[in-house]
Amino acid sequence: MIEESPGYDLPVEMSLQQLPEGTILAFDFGKKRIGVAVGNTLTAFARPLETIHHETNTQRFSIIGKMIQTWQPVLLVVGLPRHIDGTPHEMTHLSRRFAQRLHGRFSIPIVLMDERYTSQTAAIALREAAVTVQKQKSILDQVAAQQILQSFFDEKKHAIT
């Protein structure tokens, strides 16, 4: 489910056809790692891109800046974690803060997307694809970001305009 993103420039109820045409980057924010996925509004298809393993904000935003320069996204989607019942927790606050920093640094519209169950779904998909446990660890976050972005595309495809 798409969350309200006040001040982030993009109406929540926009359909896929109403979005600016171009690339979208999605982020699965974590304290230790940030998963990144990429997709395009024309294909509405998301794919894993990279996992950022650096812990300092300087390193993280430097890498993100390079990605933004390379991909020239028209929109950024940030996963918003919550408890199963929908209530916020510590990572909800940290993810919102990460989204605000992205918007402040890069001035690209941001959408916050409910990310409940994305890590579990990503882990199941990787197991079903016979990805070893060791390999799963290094790509789980970017596959979770892919799940977040694909959910965004799927929800936008069915938006009422």
Between the two ends of the chain, the Cα-to-Cα distance in Å is 17
How many angstroms separate the CA atoms of 132 and 127, rounded? 7
Q: Say what the pLDDT of residue 160 is.
A: 45
Q: CB of 52 within 8 A of CB of 64?
A: yes
Q: Say what the pLDDT of residue 16 is.
A: 61
Q: Say what the pLDDT of residue 6 is.
A: 42
Handedness of CA 67, 130, 33, 104 (dihedral sign): positive
Which whole-number Å values give the CA distances from 41 to 25, 52, 88, in the listed order?
A: 11, 24, 29
Mean pLDDT by 10 residues, the chain (161 residues): 48 63 95 95 94 90 97 95 83 94 94 76 61 65 93 75 45
Structure pTM? 0.83
Residue 102, both tokens: 């992205």
Q: Say what the pLDDT of residue 50 is.
A: 95
Give the helix ranges, DSSP H, for the chain. 57-71, 90-106, 118-128, 133-157
Long-range contacts of 12-16 (CB under 8 A, 24+ apart): 12/111, 13/159, 13/160, 14/156, 14/159, 14/161, 15/156, 15/157, 15/159, 15/160, 15/161, 16/41, 16/44, 16/153, 16/156, 16/157, 16/159
Q: Say what the pLDDT of residue 128 is.
A: 63
Q: CB of 123 within 8 A of CB of 136?
A: yes
Closest CA to 54 of 33, 26, 68: 33
* Complete domains list, the chain, with CATH: 2-7+22-157 (3.30.420.140)
Q: CB of 40 within 8 A of CB of 23?
A: yes
Q: CB of 153 within 8 A of CB of 10?
A: no
The model's pLDDT over 16-36, given as tens digits with 9 standing for 90+, comes to 667 778 999 999 999 999 999
Q: Say what the pLDDT of residue 161 is.
A: 45
